[in-house]
Chain A
Amino acid sequence: MFVVVVGCGRVGAQVARRLVDDGHDVNVIDRNAEALQRLGGDFPGEFVQGPALETTVLEAAGVERADAFVAATNGDNTNLVIAQVARDRYQVDCVIVRVLDPARAALYEQKGLVTVCPTRTAIDSMSDALRVFAASGAEGA
């Protein structure tokens, strides 16, 4: 499949690399040219530099023919807007959005977006680890 990944930070760059390793075609968008370095020198896809809110930038990365779209910039609102644009304007079948704020993640999940909320994941993992410890009876030992 062909995937457009927006945001080439720690998350976006690694998602792009993994998809390439799995044999998929991937283009990446980031507003900063230096972000390209995170992909490594042998990255086979295209890197488009520019703000992802601009349709010319999305189109240069091939959003019109994308099977999947990943919104992983460091801005929740930017991610939520471009994800809806990818889904509603370019009819991309699979759209995945990173949203740090759990409240907004829940709201937009109700509106049919596939949201990934690292904050919620961290809260769940931490409280689960603490529950395991409490249940073990080791506290105060």
Chain B
Amino acid sequence: MYAVIVGGGKVGANVGRALLRMGHEVSIVEARPSRFATLEAEFEHMARYGDGTEVFVLESAGMARADVCIAVTGDDEDNIIIGQVARDHFGVENVVARVNDPRNQEHFDLLGVAPTVCATESILSLIEHEVPQHSLVHLFSLRRENLDIMEIGVVGESRADGLTVGDLPMPAGTLLISVLRRRVGRVATPDTVLEAGDQVVVIAEPGQESALMEIFARE
């Protein structure tokens, strides 16, 4: 696989190293002269100097034959344009983009640059997972597939408390996939009986949160 990485900071360089270890071919495009010099010392001809939002720079980096474009500069507007140019002009099928400011996530979604990775959002969802403030925690969003994976605590005296998984009145567009009890996770079977204190992992289409809370969290 050939990957063109645009943005050679910590994220870009480490993604490059990892892909090389996995046996892939990479180019890393970097616009800052001093950072480029550092990259060139390590990556040699695989490091390319230039503004990765310029079409001719992407062209000379071989974007036209790239299997994946990884847009990980520190500027969200640049990452959006790199993603669009890679996809629409060079016909790259897979684009992965970094969101620096989570407030810009909606622009990536609107302009069709997906999937995206946002460090702030990842840290927040890890905090939520470790120290839940609510009984429903979003673990992961499959944006392109329009699905969310979430973890929900089973509250005592809720409708779910004491029911088997098979008897749960799950809303359409949701599926319970596993039950975590005392930190041990198991793939759910219809016979599994839910107890207060369990955590269930559910995959759902968007907008099902309140229906799910009615079943698992409302006393």
A residues sitting closer than 8 Å to B (CB atoms) are 53-55, 75-78, 80-81, 84-85, 88-89, 101, 103-104, 107, 111
- Give how many A-B residue pairs fall within 8 Å (CB-CB): 51
The interface residues of chain B lying within 8 Å CB-to-CB of A111 are 88
The interface residues of chain A lying within 8 Å CB-to-CB of B104 are 53
Cross-chain contact B85 with A107 (CB below 8 angstroms): yes
CB distance from B89 to the nearest CB of A (A): 6
In the assembled complex, the Cα of A29 lies from the Cα of B101 at a distance in Å of 20
Cross-chain contact A53 with B107 (CB below 8 angstroms): yes
The interface residues of chain B lying within 8 Å CB-to-CB of A53 are 76-77, 101, 103-104, 107
The interface residues of chain B lying within 8 Å CB-to-CB of A76 are 53, 81
B residues sitting closer than 8 Å to A (CB atoms) are 53-56, 75-78, 80-81, 85, 88-89, 101, 103-104, 106-107, 110-111
Classify the secondary structure of B's interface with A. Answer: helix
In the assembled complex, the Cα of A136 lies from the Cα of B66 at a distance in Å of 49
Cross-chain contact A103 with B81 (CB below 8 angstroms): no
In the assembled complex, the Cα of A53 lies from the Cα of B106 at a distance in Å of 10
CB distance from A87 to the nearest CB of B (A): 10
Of all chain A residues, the one with the shortest Cβ separation from B57 is A103
CB distance from A60 to the nearest CB of B (A): 14
CB distance from B137 to the nearest CB of A (A): 26
The interface residues of chain B lying within 8 Å CB-to-CB of A103 are 54-56
Contacting residue for A81 out of B54, B55, B107, CB 8 A: B107
Of all chain B residues, the one with the shortest Cβ separation from A54 is B103
5 pairs, A vs B, C-beta closer than 8 Å: A55-B106, A76-B53, A77-B80, A101-B53, A107-B55
The interface residues of chain B lying within 8 Å CB-to-CB of A54 are 103
Of all chain B residues, the one with the shortest Cβ separation from A56 is B103
Cross-chain contact A77 with B81 (CB below 8 angstroms): yes
Cross-chain contact A107 with B89 (CB below 8 angstroms): yes
Cross-chain contact B53 with A78 (CB below 8 angstroms): no
Cross-chain contact A81 with B53 (CB below 8 angstroms): no
Among all A-B residue pairs, the 5 with the closest Cβ atoms: A103-B55, A77-B77, A77-B81, A81-B77, A78-B77
Cross-chain contact A89 with B110 (CB below 8 angstroms): yes
Cross-chain contact A80 with B81 (CB below 8 angstroms): yes
The interface residues of chain A lying within 8 Å CB-to-CB of B81 are 76-77, 80-81, 104
Cross-chain contact A81 with B111 (CB below 8 angstroms): yes
The interface residues of chain B lying within 8 Å CB-to-CB of A81 are 76-77, 80-81, 107, 111
Of all chain B residues, the one with the shortest Cβ separation from A84 is B111
